[in-house]
Amino acid sequence: MLIRRNHSKPREPWKWPEGRPRPKMPILHLAHFRVHHADLEAYLRTVYRIQDFDFFRATGLAPGIVPEYLVTGELPPAWESKNKAETIRHGRRVGDVAFILNVLCLDGFIPAGRYQIDTKPRPQSIDVYRDLLKKHGNPSAGECSRFRAEHRGDTAFTKQAATLDQAVTEWLNRPG
């Protein structure tokens, strides 16, 4: 069997002509927001007095996953939606995070847009401070001082930071 192949010259990729205006694609730029799950839980306690909301229980997700929700501020047209929204407004827990975010938007607490819920564990304050010390090499650096001042109410952090500061200062002041 004889195989014939057409070996034509490769075509050049098409390029937009120089000087010709490029067309505009009709796109919508959505705001992108990120909130830590613990901050969302605290916000729901403040706004709607929902005391027992647990993001992980509501979503069934594991820590470390960052889900995304599109918040429009509109509720589904079903009559149950109004009842469900009122349930939230009366401080009772609902397990639908997307719905809760839309009610927050509808009630004017948050803007519409794309929301990411960060479920990663937050670093310990002392670990952040240790990284600042590594960066600046001096406990007297402005950023280190500000961080200590922001966390002065945390007694465990204050004790650990004082120990670190002393060790760094001794190392800086050592002879030779």
Q: Are residues 66 and 41 in the same domain?
A: yes
Do 95 and 43 lie in one domain? The reply is yes
Residue 39, domain extent: 32-118
Please list the residues that pair with 113 across neighbouring strands: 71
What mean pLDDT value characterizes the chain?
Answer: 88
Task: Choose among 16, 105, 103, 118: nearest CA to 61.
Answer: 118
Q: Is residue 103 part of a domain?
A: yes
Averaged over 153-161, what is the pLDDT? 88
**Total number of domains constituting the chain:** 2
Chain-centroid distance of CA 131 in Å reads 21
For the cut 70, the answer to whether the pLDDT of residue 2 exceeds it is no
Token reading at 4: 């014939």
Residues 37 and 96 reside in one and the same domain:
yes
105 and 149 housed in the same domain: no
| Domain presence at residue 76 | yes
The answer as to whether 9 is a domain residue is no
Q: Which of 114, 19, 11 is nearest to 71 (CA)?
A: 114
Indicate if 39 and 113 belong to the same structural domain: yes
The answer as to whether 147 is a domain residue is yes
Whether this model's pTM surpasses 0.75: no
Length reported for the chain? 176
Convert the pLDDT of each residue in 78-100 to its tens digit.
Answer: 888 889 999 999 998 888 999 99
In a domain, 106, yes or no: yes
| Other residues' Cβ atoms within 10 Å of the Cβ of residue 52 | 11
Q: Are 113 and 165 in a shared domain?
A: no
Are both 165 and 87 inside the same structural domain?
no
Residue 16: inside a domain, yes or no?
no
Instruction: Pull the structure tokens for residue 105.
Output: 């938007």
Using a pLDDT cut of 70, give the percent of the chain over it.
94
Q: What does the alpha-carbon distance between residue 51 and residue 110 come to, in Å, rounded to a whole number?
A: 20
